[in-house]
Structure 1
């Protein structure tokens, strides 16, 4: 049974959707407070998030960005906001789908199944290619497809951190704070430059996906 976190402040709508989704064997947890919802995501595993944009105390776009910065989880926006700018911003911040209200709950079920299939396929592909990287932390050495990479200390730190978070979005701030060889005063631009060098040394620029406005994701 897939677990869904629904972040929605319209409690009547949330109840209707929850009852409908449970007919399709989804277990739904509903939270109308975005701050509590983010805390719940830290403590419990979920398979997908259904996210409203108009929330008390924190805009849904900010919630989307916060989720995507630390988790690789399907996010479906469910919103009455019809401005195309909101849709574009949500997708660029990492949302997987955008469903404008009102909608037929059957369409929501279909969208959930669709994003779960995509994530399952991506996860399987990542698992198959996980052996492409070999990380030797004691020697500070990374090999890709049995080829040792010649990396600076900062480049090694970045790639090692991304290997450990393979398939997850890693923000530039995360790299600055967690890679010892990177100065905490480093700019986002310097991170982008180092990432470009890493891509060149891997020989496959598509391995590291740029997530606009947030950071990067190691796909393989």
Structure 2
């Protein structure tokens, strides 16, 4: 049963990654990959999962049209309370999220869902585990894909909206890690001392 659920979730993300147009001529910047890498590295399971196999990413940035409705307002998002602000009682995060610049970045992220998506290159990520494209993972034999001794993490990453001086970044990230494990969230990152740090996440769906 777990394998069936896992297969269905996997198929859902495959559809999300393949059911939109991709413009391979538009390259993501090095800053984009630094933001994505900081996001993936921020996961507690990622730091502690010594037996983790490959991190899998969709072949291109993903659309958020099915996750965030066009009429969703930033005030409605913040009303949900962020994961760090709400659950970890991180008062610094609560204050940082109140910066009005996030509202305009949120609108830009919603608009980016209606444009062509950009190809992702595994070699551009700076993370501690190997990264593999979803198309490569799909070529593996079924038994290798669902080897329970080697947990997998399948990420979808939307295009990023930055503020004017490229010190704040906002995008939609999602991941599936088998069975009933996974979530989709709005991600807020801030650059401090030349390092991108996770400010907070606002969850839109969870398995």
TM-score, normalization by structure 2: 0.25
Structure with max Cα Rg = 1
Q: Which structure features the higher share of helix residues?
A: 1
